[in-house]
Structure 1
Amino acid sequence: MENSISVVEGRTLHEISLQRKLWADLTAASLDFCEDLLQWSSCGNVAVTDTDLDRVVDRVLYMYVSEPLAYWLTGWFALACMNLLLQGKRDIEVFVFGAGPVAEAAILSLDHGAAHRILCVSVLSRHGISNQMLAAKLASKVHFKLDAVKDRTRLHRAGFVITATDAGAPLFEPHEISRNAVTLSLGIDDMPAEYFEMLFSQGGLAVGDDLVAMEARNVDPLSLYYSRRGLKLTEHGRADGVKNYSEILSDATLMERLKNWKGPASFLPVGLASLDVAVAAKIYEMLSITLSTKE
């Protein structure tokens, strides 16, 4: 075994261990958020299709059908990104591309865990209608200024830029955003290749939730940045300094540096099934308790 390192599906055993720790931490944090989001009216379509409490292995006891829940899990990464890459910042201006359910979830997750650090959130939609509706809907729910904007004028002032659309095309030009901005991609192919060139040339930090999964799916803008040039995220991305979320969380020195991080950074999660499973288990527990009390 070369260098005494075991490799499983492109991951070393050390990386697998870090991933397990990461998802244990993320599950604990996201389930706290889950308890709240399940009570919101917009998440009310959880359908129980089988109430048998027999715990036989491989038997389907419950099936939940909840598109909103999937949106909330995606939007929750906005808070995770802010707590990682903007942990030392306050009075942050946020710019959100998109006004659909993922954008709504991202805004509410920020309000859930970081409202006191946000100065304002500007929301831009393709036709300038849905963003006005979203701003009106959330105005009384959030604890920061929320504006529907008609263009990208405020984009250069934003310290945090979130792309949450299904456009499938770059939403901004690199020169339009602050050189020290943190970006979060919650869509597909929504950032230009030139942005990553700028980020790496400035010594910026790019973070993925799982580089192996990202490379396999090849839909996020960072993976596409490499694959379109015949390169691999797990190899050439590593050489450019791209890191897994779990690696950063376990690196005390880097976490300390991030408290005063001045350069650009980008977070690009594709979402992993392990988080969905953890939340599904939590929903099962909550529904079981609810149903048992009604018997």
Structure 2
Amino acid sequence: ERSVPAILGHEAAGHILSGPQTGQPVVINPLIACGNCKLCDSGRTNLCQQRIAIGWHRPGTFADQVIVPKDNLIPMPQGMNPAHAALTEPAATAIHATRLAERTLVGDIENAAVLVIGAGSIGLLSALALQAQGVEQIAITESNAMRRASAASTGDWEIIDGAKTAPPPEAYDLIIDAVGSHTSRHIALSAISTGGVVIHIGLADNDGGIDVHRLTRHEITLMGAYTYTAQDLEDALHQLHRGSLGDLSWIETRQLRDGPNAFRDLDAGRIAAGKIILIP
């Protein structure tokens, strides 16, 4: 649970202001794990039960400066656009999910028919990560018309108007639910094929939507994907820098002082951008 009142913000890039690495551009890993438990020892720091997070339990990055443990800083590649580097956290979340899917699917992931639910930053980055892995059969369902248009211009995939059309039943080997609502879970469990895999990333609500009979009788794997490991973050940063996840033209940048208006626009569905980057 988030400690309130709080300074929010956990997806960020910046530069070090003090210490031996002063001036070094870095990306922040907002998850601070204990480093000593069985999960940390196995590299699954995202699941550490003692973890705390910048922007939840400690003041976040919607500020000019923030205090971060040195072990939670990742050097930014030379010449990288900081606005692109700030996408490392959601890109790592997407990469973590697609890696879980690849390990769980029967058959090669590049041959899978995939549906991504939601064309926000996690959904788009999941589709881009899958495309980078060689997946060719990708569909994205999105109810917001502006986000559908943005997604259509971002990659070579099918776009489904989620406000009017349900994805075809039992048509996909893998579904990435980047929304995580009662409705999106119902869509996922209807559209997944027998023996398929649903990766649940979004946390919109905790209100059912799961057909347990179909899940059981069709041996469907429903797996949660929570954030990312430190390795996912490093890999995401370098994939963003290399351009493996596209040109990122779908983001929008605004000044930090315009943050409240950015939140209002996002909440009202008034913008096409899957992510707004705030610049101090």
Q: Which range, TM-score by smaller chain?
A: 0.3 to 0.5
> Could you tell me the TM-score, scaled by structure 2's length?
0.48
Instruction: Tell me which protein shows more strand as a share of its residues.
Output: 2
Instruction: Tell me which protein shows more helix as a share of its residues.
Output: 1
Higher Cα radius of gyration: 1
